[in-house]
């Protein structure tokens, strides 16, 4: 069984879409997505600097669009039914929802535009941020995060938890980290997936009320609890609520293993989720679709694991 996963914010780098736009139709596709988001995503994906694409209001539409463009290069529409599981990390859930047939691309870009702007505005209220905590005992890490008044905003599995809160709280945490851990500040502009994002939930709720989603055409996992969601309306409700609640990517990977996933592809801007899978889903072959040079390997994996899935059903 094949899983395709979609990364979240912080995975973008300056110019990362440049090689993708050399593929037939890719530039036009990205331009259409940018028009729906009312942003020049061609410019942001090719020439904008690191500070510009770190801006939440830019980064989130850019990441969703990048996932859709690279997925379009990987799969024809007729190939999508062969994908057994779709999942996305944080804003990548929107990419996955499009891929699983819940949202149209234009709806998704309008939704992520509001999400990015709402989260950017919420981040401006109080200086907040996020830090990755690598290693250590998970219970001790979670307890220390709580002791500092922080939120475990991402429980990513593979020995990685992301703490989020005010910059003062994060500085104090870094000065007294849990034993046997490394604390790495992340290049994000706020404490995402915490109560600091409550204002963004309010604005997204209004946008969600204008959307008529379809039910997923394949298994679509939720960051809230790692479980499959079968109702399109419930998918949208969770997309709204997830803005201020922790991402449980560890549970998503556990569910993938329980479902019998045998191969995994991460769409652009890829690398983070494949890295986590290599530690938490040992033995499952995975391809990070970073550039078009990775397409052949990804297509081979898709072909092998969708054919295997078909032959056993």
Pairing of strands 181-185, 128-135: antiparallel
Q: Which of 29, 44, 193, 305 is catalytic?
A: 193
**Annotation says 193 is catalytic:** yes
* H runs (alpha helix) in the chain: 26-37, 41-46, 50-54, 56-74, 92-99, 105-123, 138-147, 167-175, 198-208, 232-241, 249-259, 272-280, 295-312
Full DSSP string of 182-219: EEEE-S-SS-TTSGGGHHHHHHHHHHHTT--PPPPSSE
- The number of beta carbons lying within 10 Å of the beta carbon of residue 38 is 10
Peptide linkage before 183 cis (omega within 30 of 0):
no
- Do residues 65 and 41 make contact, with C-beta atoms less than 8 angstroms apart? yes
How far is residue 59's CA from residue 61's CA, in Å, rounded to a whole number? 6
Q: Which has the closest alpha carbon to 273: 45, 10, 58, 26?
A: 10
**Distance, C-alpha 118 to centroid of its chain:** 17
The active-site residue, picked from 11, 48, 70, 90, is 90
Q: Which residues are identified as catalytic? A: 90, 193
């Amino acid at each position: 069984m094949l899983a395709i996963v979609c990364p979240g914010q912080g995975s973008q780098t300056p110019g990362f879409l440049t090689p993708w736009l050399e593929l037939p139709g890719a530039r036009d596709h990205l331009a259409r997505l940018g028009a729906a988001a009312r942003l020049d995503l061609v410019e942001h994906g090719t020439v904008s600097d690191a500070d510009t694409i770190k801006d939440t209001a830019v980064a989130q539409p850019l990441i969703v669009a990048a996932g859709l463009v690279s997925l379009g290069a990987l799969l024809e529409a007729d190939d999508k039914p062969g994908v057994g599981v779709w999942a996305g990390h944080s804003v990548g859930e929107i990419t996955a929802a499009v891929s699983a047939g819940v949202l149209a691309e234009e709806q998704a870009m309008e939704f992520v535009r509001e999400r990015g702007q709402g989260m950017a505005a919420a981040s401006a209220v109080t200086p907040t941020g996020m830090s990755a905590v690598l290693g250590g005992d998970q219970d001790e890490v979670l307890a220390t995060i709580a002791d500092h008044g922080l939120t475990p905003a991402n429980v990513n599995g593979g020995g990685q938890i992301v703490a989020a809160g005010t910059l003062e709280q994060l500085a104090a945490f870094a000065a007294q980290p849990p034993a046997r851990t490394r604390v790495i500040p992340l290049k994000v502009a706020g404490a995402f997936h915490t109560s600091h994002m409550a204002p963004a939930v309010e604005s997204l709720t209004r946008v969600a009320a204008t959307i008529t989603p379809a039910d997923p055409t394949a298994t679509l996992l939720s960051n809230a609890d790692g479980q499959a969601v079968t109702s399109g309306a419930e998918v949208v409700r969770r997309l709204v609520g997830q803005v201020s609640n922790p991402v449980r990517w560890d549970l998503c990977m556990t569910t993938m293993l329980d479902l019998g996933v045998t191969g995994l592809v991460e769409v652009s801007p890829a690398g983070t989720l494949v890295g986590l899978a290599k530690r938490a889903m040992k033995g499952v072959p995975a391809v990070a679709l970073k550039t078009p040079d990775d397409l052949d390997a990804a297509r081979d994996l898709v072909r092998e694991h969708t054919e295997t899935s078909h032959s056993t059903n």
